[in-house]
Amino acid sequence: MDQIKKLKRQRNWLLLAAFPILPFTLARMLILRRRKRRVEQAALEAFARYHGRAPATITKWLENFRQDLVSGLTSGALHDMADAARKIEPLIPPYSPSLPMLVHPFTGSVLLNMMNGILDLQESIGRRRFDTVVVSSDVADPAEVQALIDKVGAQGETILVIDTSRERALALKGESLRIFAVSPHMARLTDAEAQRVLFEFIRSVHPGRVILADSEMIWGVMALYGRALVASCEVSAFFSAHPGNSFTQRQFYRFFEVLAAIHVLDAAARDQLIAWFSLSPDCAKRIVRLDDSTAIAAPSSAETPPDVGGTDDAPCTEAPEVDISLILTVHNETVVTGVTMIAANASVKAAERAGYSVEKIIVLDAATPRTRACLSNPAYSDWQLIDLSERDLGRARNRVVRMARGSYVAFLDADDLFSENWLAQGAAVLDAGAAAGERVIAHPAINWIFDADQALMAVTPQESPIFSPVFFYFENYYDSLCMAPRQAHLDIPYVSRDIPNGLSYQDSQFAIETLAAGWLHRTAKDTIIFKRRRDTSLVTESQNRKSVIRQIDPLAIENIPDLIAAGPHGSAQTESPASRP
């Protein structure tokens, strides 16, 4: 009892001591909150301006969209679907308003500022491609950088000089792109966020060569995405003996293996570099002197072409025999497949009650013995088992799609769950699109993340006023657990992952390429995909590796306006959700 009294006295003294600064603390909190709202509002207005939409329209649509989904999760069809799934998988938590409804890209100001930032940079150079990109900063020696630019420019190449200085400009004879001067949104990003914007901007220009000329920011890009950049174009570095050239001196040797060449000013700088690192004659061959009369060689390595596997077999050419091919892919999942199969069978029965025939396929792709044992359950005897050894999800899907007999294809990962109504509702969306002469791919209304993480991700319809293809530079709207006409997968197969070069996210590339090809991405009302987040899932592994999608033509700088125009079509789906019957 005495101890309790003592603690209370200490608490009271602390409150008295804090009282004089409490008003200042509250005032600071209010100032920070208002500042955050101003930043978010500015980001919204810039997004609206770039996409030709009214900020009020976006705000109203978002409010109604969230309210519609929250209402359904509280007492509507979404609530019923979640409850049914929870009876199958108890790890799915009950819906709580404390769990925010995330709607991309409006999950805060960061992604919007990244999107606005890359649009600022693209607009500032007139949406042009360049042969060579030189990235430097104010710490470089202007005379040396100018000599590099003059040497490259003498060969007739178009050159974009990017200055990553935040305050003082690099003094050059010609123009350079000062990224922080032309884009106020870049200044609101962390270093890592700004580096990602710079990386994606460079790739959108589709250069044949990138030369690193003493910029701390570009070496930060190399640390995160260096191999992916090298897979997109030739990357070399300028090495200076100048004492201020600290970033290149400290960093370039870490990437010597992937750099196509090391540029130096003259023979003295070459000799100093060889002596410093005791370079072998073979390594010294990669040093290129700017005072040499011979021209700098044209980029020796083109963009690494994507590997598209699993397409060797001729596709089934017979008329579709069933409405839906449900394809479950399995690799090393074991007992967790039990709840997945229960949920899948429930969704199949609901689809059959709605009049759809369903082909059920389990794909064992290099499956482990324990995985094979779990799927050899007599309860699954009405599922077709297909053995593959692709060891890649994209290649496995490509191969089995060519065997499928359904008009529509729906994928399911072995550790995820469908809501019971997904197959029927997804097929209905595709039916409606086909009847209207449209090529449509259906997605669930919500991706519900559960298990190791918890999140509700509302899926953004392409025809909504908040949709922007610029988002694909950084994130993906659409999960691969979609439903699409089989022809969409035959026309646009999945690319293979390239783990050594940090190239992944096959579903993102499929979404972008189908969008560019004229397919419409729509959501099926009141449907949910429950995505299990494991510590060793493909998504988690890709995020930990800082993986990105490949450099692809639809995201090239000059193509973005056309993709933006392919967003809202003025159909009924662009209205606020509350206005729909």
Q: Quick one: pLDDT at residue 18?
A: 57
Beta strand extents in 452-558 (DSSP E only): 455-458, 483-485, 520-533
Q: Which residues pair with 193 in a beta bridge?
A: none
Contact 51, 58 (CB under 8 A): no
Contact 437, 353 (CB under 8 A): no
Per-residue pLDDT reduced to its tens digit, 458-488: 999 999 999 999 999 999 999 889 999 999 9
Per-residue pLDDT reduced to its tens digit, 268-315: 989 988 988 899 999 999 999 998 877 666 675 555 556 676 676 777
CA distance 456 to 94: 12
Q: Quick one: pLDDT at residue 22?
A: 56
Confidence check: pLDDT of 13 > 80: no
DSSP string, 168-210: SPP--SS--EEHHHH-TTGGGS-HHHHHHHHHHHHHHH--SEE
Average pLDDT estimate for 101-125: 95
CA distance 291 to 311: 50
CATH of domain 322-575: 3.90.550.10
Contact 117, 197 (CB under 8 A): yes
Q: How confident is the model at residue 573 (pLDDT cuts 50, 70, 90)?
A: very low
Q: Quick one: pLDDT at residue 305?
A: 58
Q: Quick one: pLDDT at residue 39?
A: 78
The single residue listed with the structure tokens 């980001």 is: 43
Q: Using alpha carbons only, what angle is made at residue 237 by residues 234 and 241, rounded to the nearest 5 degrees?
A: 165
Contact 64, 577 (CB under 8 A): yes
Per-residue pLDDT reduced to its tens digit, 28-38: 666 666 767 78
CA distance 581 to 575: 11
Region for residue 69 given its phi and psi (left: phi exceeds 0; alpha: psi -120 to 50; beta: otherwise): alpha
In the chain, CATH 3.90.550.10 sits at: 322-575
In the chain, CATH 3.40.50 sits at: 111-289
| DSSP label of 548 | B
Confidence check: pLDDT of 25 > 90: no
Reduce the secondary structure of 235-255 to three states and give it as a string.
EEEECCCCCCCHHHHHHHHHH
Q: How confident is the model at residue 244 (pLDDT cuts 50, 70, 90)?
A: low
Contact 363, 328 (CB under 8 A): yes
Contact 224, 231 (CB under 8 A): no
Q: Quick one: pLDDT at residue 445?
A: 97
Q: Using alpha carbons only, what angle is made at residue 507 by residues 504 and 512, rounded to the nearest 5 degrees?
A: 105
CA atoms within 13 A on the CB side of 361: 25
Q: Quick one: pLDDT at residue 175?
A: 84
Confidence check: pLDDT of 522 > 60: yes
Confidence check: pLDDT of 575 > 50: no
The single residue listed with the structure tokens 């001591």 is: 17
Confidence check: pLDDT of 391 > 80: yes
Confidence check: pLDDT of 365 > 90: yes
Six-digit token string for 452: 């190791």
Contact 238, 246 (CB under 8 A): no
Q: In the chain, what percentage of residues exceed pLDDT 70?
A: 85
CATH of domain 111-289: 3.40.50
